[in-house]
Structure 1
Amino acid sequence: MVTSSDYTGFPEPCEQHVDELQGEIGYVLSSWLPLSMNVVARITGAVQLKINLVYAKEVFQMLEVWGRKTSSNVQALMWCIGELELPYQRYDVGHKYGGTDSDEFYLLNPNRTIPVIRDNGGLPFWETGAILRYLACRYGHETFWPKDVLERTSVDRWTEWAKISVAMNFNEPIFWRVVRTPAHLRDSTAIKKAVESFEKRLMIAETQLTQYQYLAGNDFTLADIQFGHVLFRYFDIDISRAKLPQLRKYYEGLRQRSPYREHVMVSYEELRV
């Protein structure tokens, strides 16, 4: 059964914005009386439309997210949602919560994997990378996901690299072997080799971060979401790590971001076996 959690409700600024915009109407009526009533009506109508748009955007727009908060893919997604300040409702699904084998979930995602989202009651979307790009395209600002195709591709190459070369070489080869494998079954040699291989990829980021504040440049972008969500577990689990000072500095900077602390720095104790 799908359980509900993390429901944020409607954003608080809505009523404040409406009050401010209604004040604009009052200003129009008091300041533009010399104009014809037709002109005043047009101006006040435009302001009222602005109120309606704000209300529709902030109240009726709601993301639904299916996926448990301890899933690394869900963490990347939720961090992105947090950075974009989008209202959402998340349902715990997968692992000990079950739900992915239900007929209801199959209609959302025939692969029966998480995360899945539905934006404002629309079609369900699955595959983390596709979801993140959708959110970036629809809600991201210019520096987060540039409109210019060359600038966007520069960000996207690091986004894809972070997913394929970093996340996929950490989660199962390292995290699963350290956390999701009983102590008496852990292969320390395999873990050591996996960490060494993984850190060769991190050296690429280390070099990049000697030149820039963030992975794809000096602006925080979608690439940092795909890359940075892995680092909490990398620095937290019980392994020997190489000295990567620029990466450590970058990670400490991510820890200062409220959405990162809320959605990524999450206990994974329920995953231990």
Structure 2
Amino acid sequence: MLRIWGRANSSNVMKVLWLCEELGLPFERIDAGGAFGRTREPDYLAKNPNALVPTIEEPDGFVLWESNAILRYLTRSRAPQSPIYPADLRVAADCDRWLDWQISAINRPMTTVFFTYVRIPEPERDWTSTHKARAEAETLWAMLDRAIGRKPFVTGDRLTIADIALGIYVHRWFALPIERAEMPALRGWYDRLLARPGFIKHCAGPLT
């Protein structure tokens, strides 16, 4: 059985768990990271020298880290014909574009805002940096709002791993106690994600 190392409240672990639900993949999850530790232990570092989560292990010993690489691998290895990672070269490139955008653009400001409100004790919060990050995130979400337009999902009519990579962050955007500009397309997309059992189960719970 596929083994997934990582705590359930990690955004990067959530991606992998949600994909497994979408594809109906059985897995064993092992708590690691954050309060659970383990990631600095020699046996874990041998699997993932970054000391981060998630890491997956196949029954034959194959190991992979980096959450978006894991999304691509699991789809190609378990459901190569699934539209969740499109076979069409250009649609797949669009999907990859948004996967990279999640890492290179939206991750940083959203992490700053999320940590400020959820994980950093109030006396230690840097509100100047947080307000700046919120404004930056809003500009980026507006970009996605325009890109979605009338489409049901990020790349078109079907859910893809681009929606999975970004969906965790849009839940935080709407769940955090912050000001938000009106973005109807973004809100409609988020509502469609909330109709998916895997998203509800693994991604849309209380922020921790």
Bin the TM-score by the shorter chain.
over 0.9
CA drift of 1:169 comes to 2.7
1:156 aligned to 2:96? yes
Partner of 2:4: 65
Equivalent runs, 1:10-29 vs 2, <5 Å: none
Q: Are the aligned partners of 1:163 and 1:227 in contact in 2 as well (CA < 8 Å)?
A: no
CA drift of 1:133 comes to 1.2
Partner of 2:187: 248
Please report the TM-score for the alignment, with normalisation by the length of structure 1.
Answer: 0.72
CA drift of 1:142 comes to 3.6
- In structure 1, give the amino acid aligned to 2:31: D
1:169 aligned to 2:109? yes
CA drift of 1:256 comes to 1.0
1:74 aligned to 2:13? yes
Q: Are the aligned partners of 1:66 and 1:92 in contact in 2 as well (CA < 8 Å)?
A: yes
**Which of 126, 130, 133 is 2:65 aligned to?**
126
Aligned pairs, number: 207
Q: Distance in 2 between matches of 1:133 and 1:210?
A: 25
**What's the Cα RMSD here?**
1.5
Q: Specify the SS of the correspondent of 1:170.
A: helix
**Which of 159, 162, 179 is 1:223 aligned to?**
162
CA displacement, residues 19-61 of structure 1 (integer Å, 9 cap, x when unaligned)? xxxxxxxxxxxxxxxxxxxxxxxxxxxxxxxxxxxxxxxxxxx
- In structure 2, give the amino acid aligned to 1:221: T
Q: Are the aligned partners of 1:167 and 1:227 in contact in 2 as well (CA < 8 Å)?
A: no
Q: Distance in 1 between matches of 2:61 and 2:99?
A: 26
Structure 2: gaps (5+ residues): none
CA drift of 1:195 comes to 0.8
Equivalent runs, 1:78-117 vs 2, <5 Å: 78-117=17-56
CA drift of 1:215 comes to 0.6
**Which of 159, 168, 171 is 1:232 aligned to?**
171
CA displacement, residues 72-122 of structure 1 (integer Å, 9 cap, x when unaligned)? 110111111111110000001111111112122122112211100012333
**Residue identity (%):** 32
Between stretches 80-89 and 182-191, larger displacement belongs to 182-191
Q: Are the aligned partners of 2:56 and 2:63 in contact in 1 as well (CA < 8 Å)?
A: yes
Structure 1: gaps (5+ residues): 1-61
- In structure 1, give the amino acid aligned to 2:103: K
Q: Are the aligned partners of 1:66 and 1:91 in contact in 2 as well (CA < 8 Å)?
A: yes
Q: Specify the SS of the correspondent of 2:107.
A: helix
Q: Distance in 2 between matches of 1:236 and 1:146?
A: 30
Which of the pair has more CA radius of gyration? 1
Q: Specify the SS of the correspondent of 2:136.
A: helix
Partner of 1:144: 84
Please report the TM-score for the alignment, with normalisation by the length of structure 2.
Answer: 0.93
Q: Are the aligned partners of 2:5 and 2:55 in contact in 1 as well (CA < 8 Å)?
A: yes
